[in-house]
A and B are shown apart, each in its own frame.
Chain A
């Protein structure tokens, strides 16, 4: 019996390089696995406006994804590959403009927030129904929120969105007030996510596992069938006419349906797109990009909002106690060289701890420059002395650390190898330790890492609070500081200007004290066949497919 993942072998064929197969071991089935990143630009391109004439109705969109999380419930899945499909099944109370970060109406036509961001009153659109005809009313929404915190382990995201949730008071059929025990400014953005997509009360009441097999929503598409690890089939919802205010088409989808297929091998996904076996593929591997461009596929890229990919330091470690050393590490890293070598040229280098598409992102690139000489000077100032082999030493302790990383993106290994070389050039020793994805949370909660390499996707700056506030998980072992107050204040700030200012200060604190070393902004890339129009990224770099139409679609 072979129980190991497939062998790691090289193949002589250029179009199928070994690294892709290597990714099988770590990548298969494992979700969220952050798109294999790495090409395209920072902006949210909506190809909806790319011409091609008037939309025509009909046709089925075939969409190949790399993995399946084994669950179809939007409130329980966190993986990009699963969100592509499950996002289409539900509507959210609000939507978020991917360009500006502004929250706009969807199911809720208006809302009010009290001064300390503890009470959110929403008014629903009229006439919205779930696909079985049941109205989407205050009671249905309340049932969703009430049940959310009882969801089991799979629902890792929803707990953060509803942290401090006290209850939902129903004012009338279309008006309700959600109350929190503590300020929760992030909740408004959270209502725009697929995670807080509104499900039918019957679905809400079902067991976690039953919800993973089938859900009923009010979204533009209805679930026809779901075969785990194989396919998800959706059909257009008849009579849909309450689309998000950001969409061009707010009524019934142009498509008759969407067929999602799980295709674990990235080379097979790319070849299938080229040979017209599918229209859209996710998780583009960097090595497939040229091939796809040659086939005249559209490569759609959007930088994921949230915390940028970077070196996350464990502040329990003596070596990171000196700010000079932390700054030296940052100065030794040549971000431009990394993005141009490992990623395509238009993947942005990190300009703050938050990636460039995150609302309230502040451009702090002046603090994230490359200056190896200054780095060496700073290390010397911290009291280190040169050793014979070109490294540094202080009181017999060498200046070196280990980076723990996971093979969840094909670009991780080459990026870290380059960082290793760049740090070695100024005499900082780095060893790379590849971990298993299954160990990730354990390492975080137990602090058994020196630094790790990672990112977090979230289109709200509150992710800074959940990641760095010292009263919460505090995985990076920060000392309590003024940063904690800033993070709490932004969570309570209802005035957008005021919140942006507080978030900017928090970013400045993290970046200028080099508490973490941001390196590159994760960018999601999809490939879409030339005859497909209207694939639209949402603010979290996942997609809305209601605007999609296919040229010459068969009726």
Chain B
């Protein structure tokens, strides 16, 4: 088991390194440079002399040969120094840390919505005797998955904020301002949850133990919620990593549409302004979240289901 964990951590480090290297390559090889982007405060300003540009690029180290830049950045990153934002001069870790809380709040709320909505649809669809209702409910997730997040967001704002004035259209000011963004972010994920959970529920319901339990006189509802659901949850657990990724990716759009501060908005801005250190910091953070979520699930699975064991192949 210990060996398994060590191997998994080493693997995680490898994935992080790969993520870092690929982003570095993409960011530093594409045309344009962050110093110009900073000056493009900018487009509307008078020209800045070529000498001044060179000076600044030197100061930020953008004139060093690529391998040297790569090596020095990687070495600093290993030591926990992700560099400083070209735009604001803030350390990247501070920049990410500052906006983390609003995104965590948003993601948590969206997750709750996704689980309640998605779980509800899956449970009702697999429990009901009405073929019509089942088909209708199971038809919702594929549609919801295909709707663009920003479109859902704009529609929600248009109705609930501009027309009915129930929720604010912008900002990060308490629960009321969290409802619409969380709903926007949670809807597509709830569809994902509903699809996977409904499938495993349907499969689990066919298992022989269901017949046995029913024969013992336990009500259908009790069997459905107490036994079938418990067995069907396991496959859904493996989606946690996927959901974490979806939440991070969705926050980019949701935070922009709802003018919320957060990791998503930081990402958009850093990408637009080619603030390379910040983009790399965000990518690394995303990779860490993704890897951690998957690792935790893998370690938890045996606890949830005694039939699953980890590390046997290594032992």
| Contact surface of A with B, Cβ cutoff 8 Å | 1-7, 9, 11, 13, 15-16, 21, 24-34, 64, 69-71, 77-80, 152-154, 156-157, 159-160, 208-209, 212, 227-231, 261-265, 267-268, 271-272, 274-275, 277, 406, 408, 436-442, 444-446, 454-458, 463, 466-467, 472-473, 475
Contact = CB atoms under 8 A, between A and B. Distances in A.
Interface residues of B, number: 70
Best-buried of B53, B88, B245, B274 by chain A (most CB within 10 Å) = B88
Contact of A1 (B40, B171, B290): B290
A292 to B, nearest CB: 12
29 contacts: A4-B271, A5-B252, A9-B148, A16-B158, A28-B256, A28-B268, A29-B268, A31-B42, A34-B43, A69-B41, A153-B39, A154-B41, A156-B41, A212-B88, A227-B261, A230-B171, A230-B261, A231-B171, A261-B170, A271-B157, A271-B161, A436-B31, A437-B40, A438-B33, A438-B36, A441-B48, A442-B33, A454-B43, A467-B47
A268 B272 contact: no
B45 A78 contact: yes
Given A1-B245, A274-B162, 13 more contacts: A3-B279, A9-B150, A11-B154, A157-B45, A160-B46, A263-B170, A271-B161, A277-B161, A406-B43, A438-B40, A444-B47, A445-B48, A445-B49
B252 A156 contact: no
Contacts of A11: 148, 150-151, 154
A261 B259 contact: yes
Best-buried of A5, A9, A11, A153 by chain B (most CB within 10 Å) = A153
A230 B248 contact: no
State the 6 A-B residue pairs at the shortest beta-carbon distance, nearest first: A438-B37, A2-B249, A438-B32, A209-B89, A29-B269, A441-B36
B266 interface: yes
Interface in B6-38: 23, 31-38
B190 interface: no
A441 B271 contact: no
Interface in B237-284: 245, 248-249, 252-253, 256-259, 261, 265-269, 271-274, 279, 282-283
Best-buried of A25, A33, A439 by chain B (most CB within 10 Å) = A439
Contact of B32 (A152, A153, A439, A444): A439
Contacts of A454: 43
Best-buried of B36, B150, B158, B252 by chain A (most CB within 10 Å) = B36
Contacts of A261: 170-171, 259
A377 to B, nearest CB: 36
B43 A438 contact: no
Best-buried of B172, B261, B267, B272 by chain A (most CB within 10 Å) = B272
B40 A30 contact: yes
B256 A445 contact: no
Interface of B: 23, 31-50, 52-53, 56, 87-90, 99, 148, 150-151, 154-155, 157-158, 161-163, 165, 168-172, 245, 248-249, 252-253, 256-259, 261, 265-269, 271-274, 279, 282-283, 286-287, 290
A475 B47 contact: yes
A153 B38 contact: yes
Contacts of A231: 171
A268 B157 contact: yes
Contacts of A1: 245, 248-249, 283, 286-287, 290
A7 B48 contact: no
A275 B165 contact: yes
Contacts of A78: 41-42, 44-45
